[in-house]
Amino acid sequence: MLLAAGLGTRLRPLTDLRPKPIVPVANRPLAAFAMDCLARSGVRSIVANSHPQPDLVESTLSAACPEAVALRFSREKKLLGTGGGLRKAQVLFDDPQSAVIVMNGDTLFAPDLVRAYAEHLSRGAVATMILRRSPDTERLGAIGIDQNGWVRSLLGAPHDDRVQESLMFAGVHILAPEAFSALPESGCVIRSAYRHWVDRGAPVLGLVDESPWADLGTVAEYHRLNLALAAGSFSWPGVEPRDGCILADRLEYSQDVRRSVIGPEVDIAPGVHLDQCVVWPGTQVTGSAANAILTPDHRIELG
């Protein structure tokens, strides 16, 4: 299950043009990175939910889906939240009696899903959360695990002396078939179903994964991640920067464009210099820019 129905309000004004799952990152739709990870882990069937501009989201993600993967959509007329979205989509799963991997479509993260799935099954968990260490865990919502990896506290509650480490939820989890009966018709899966399970001592497993992780919550983070992919400091299979840039096909590398990501069908006027820029497809660039995001409708300069 790919969660791809969010509004992406913190990424405005970019998400006024394209919903967050399909904003271009290294000239790919953002949610394509999650589909890549799922496909490399052996997943052959994905259900994605959609809400804003559903026709555009569904056509864009269908075109970007790995060839070996079947992709279906659960369209939400009203935004149902992570819990409600999962519950509505269950009827589209190939086998409702199998555990389901759930992945946020708005992060770049490639955890070891094969290991996580095996651990989930062997330990009889109702749910398994992929966790990561972060210096900002308390602000982001601490998940406390004991020495055996069982989740004992969620968002700081309840207090439990068995908690050995507090971590951050990385946006990937695995749900047993019986978990779906606890999901709300609308609302957050963490604050509803997970709250219910942890408070009652149900077997919720937390697995720490140290794989690189990046969130695109804000415009500044979006800009920074694109440049990190172009520089090679954040690597991803199939993303192949050259000379610190990622350029769409038919664009030539030159000294006029440095440390930037340039999308397809971009027209750069003669004499224009770009440095540390992210340029969206179809943009007409008439003036030089540095440290900026350029779209057909915006010129966003970052400090």
pLDDT band at 123 (very low <50, low <70, confident <90, very high): very high
Share of the chain above pLDDT 90, in %: 83
Same domain, 151 and 294: no
Q: What is the pLDDT of residues 36-70, one digit of tens each?
A: 999 999 999 999 999 999 999 999 999 999 998 99
- Whether 43 and 145 map to the same domain: the answer is yes
Does a structural domain hold residue 25?
yes
The answer to whether position 222 is within a domain reads no
Determine, yes or no, domain membership for 221: no
C-alpha distances (whole Å) from 106 to each of 163, 218, 275 are 29, 11, 26
User: Same domain for 201 and 288?
Assistant: no
How far apart CA 11 and CA 30 sit, in angstroms, is 13
Cβ 50 vs Cβ 88: under 8 Å: no
Residues 195 and 248 in one domain: no
pLDDT in tens, 133-192: 987 766 666 899 999 999 999 988 888 889 889 999 999 999 999 999 999 999 999 999
Joined together, the tokens standing for residue 168 give 């951050």
Same domain, 203 and 249: no
Which structural domain, as residue segments, surrounds residue 251?
A: 242-301
Please list the alpha-helical segments (H only) found in 149-288. Answer: 195-199, 219-231
Q: How far apart are CA 200 and CA 72, in angstroms?
A: 34
pLDDT tens for residues 261-285?
999 999 999 999 999 999 999 999 9
Q: What is the mean pLDDT of residues 82-91?
A: 95
Asked if residues 222 and 207 have their Cβ atoms less than 8 Å apart, the reply is no
| Pair (266, 209) in one structural domain | no
Domain contains 185: yes
Whether 89 and 159 map to the same domain: the answer is: yes
Same-domain check for residues 98 and 157: yes
Number of domains in the chain: 2
pTM of the predicted model over 0.75: yes
